[in-house]
Amino acid sequence: MAAITPPRQVKLDRECELRIEVGENSPLRLRLLNGNAEIFGTEIPPEIWLNFPPRLKFAIFTWHGATIEMDGGSDLSDYVADETPMISYVNVHAILEARRNRAKASASNNAESSQGPRVIVVGPTDSGKSTLSRMLLSWAAKQGWKPTFVDLDIGQGSITLPGCTAATPIEMPIDPVEGIPLEMPLVYFYGHTTPSANVDLYKLVVKELAQTLEKQFSGNAESRAAGMVINTMGWIEGVGYELLLHAIHAFNADVVLVLGQEKLCSMLKDVLKSKPKVDVVKLQKSGGVVSRPPKYRQKSRGYRIREYFYGLANDLSPHSNIANFNDLSVYRIGGGPQAPRSALPIGAEPAADPTRVVTVNISQDLLHLVLAVSYAKDPEEIISSNVAGFIYITDVDIQRRKITYLAPSAGELPSRVLILGTLAWLET
Q: Rule CB under 6 A: say whether 198 interacts with ligand ADP.
A: no
Closest to ligand ADP by CB, 114 or 138: 138
> Whole-number minimum distance, CB 79 to ligand ADP, in Å?
10
Contact with ligand ADP (CB under 6 A) among 103, 265, 289, 328: 289
Q: Sketch the per residue contact string, 6 through 35, with ligand ADP: x for CB under 6 A, - otherwise.
A: -----------x-x----------------
- Residues 257, 199, 365, CA angle at the centre, nearest 5°? 125
Q: Rule CB under 6 A: say whether 89 interacts with ligand ADP.
A: no
From the DSSP assignment, how many helices (H) and strands (E) are in the chain?
7, 23
Q: Rule CB under 6 A: say whether 207 interacts with ligand ADP.
A: no
Residue type, 227: G
CB 258 within 8 A of CB 283: yes
Contact with ligand ADP (CB under 6 A) among 59, 258, 366, 373: 59
- Rounded CA-CA distance 277/254 in Å is 6
CB 166 within 8 A of CB 159: yes
Q: Rule CB under 6 A: say whether 150 interacts with ligand ADP.
A: no
Q: Is the Cα torsion angle 35, 40, 42, 44 positive or negative in sign?
A: negative
Q: Sketch the per residue contact string, 130 through 149, with ligand ADP: x for CB under 6 A, - otherwise.
A: xx------------------
- Rounded CA-CA distance 113/102 in Å is 8
Give the total residue count for the chain.
Answer: 428
Of 210-218, 285-293, 363-371, 388-396, the window that binds ligand ADP (rule: CB under 6 A) is 285-293
Closest to ligand ADP by CB, 43 or 126: 126
- Residues 52, 53, 57, CA angle at the centre, nearest 5°? 75
Q: Rule CB under 6 A: say whether 126 interacts with ligand ADP.
A: yes
Closest to ligand ADP by CB, 19 or 93: 19
Q: Rg for the chain (alpha carbons), in Å?
A: 23
Q: Are strands 66-72 and 8-12 parallel, antiparallel or unpaired?
A: antiparallel
Measure Cα distances from 381 to 375, 376, 378, 385 in Å.
Answer: 9, 5, 6, 6
Q: Rule CB under 6 A: say whether 425 interacts with ligand ADP.
A: no
Position of minimal CB gap to ligand ADP:
288
> Whole-number minimum distance, CB 286 to ligand ADP, in Å?
4
Q: Rule CB under 6 A: say whether 353 interacts with ligand ADP.
A: no
Question: 153 φ, ψ to 5°?
Answer: -85, 90
Q: Rule CB under 6 A: say whether 354 interacts with ligand ADP.
A: no
- Rounded CA-CA distance 292/274 in Å is 36
Contact with ligand ADP (CB under 6 A) among 148, 165, 286, 415: 286
The residue ranges that bind ligand ADP (CB under 6 A) are 17, 19, 57-59, 123, 125-131, 234, 286, 288-290
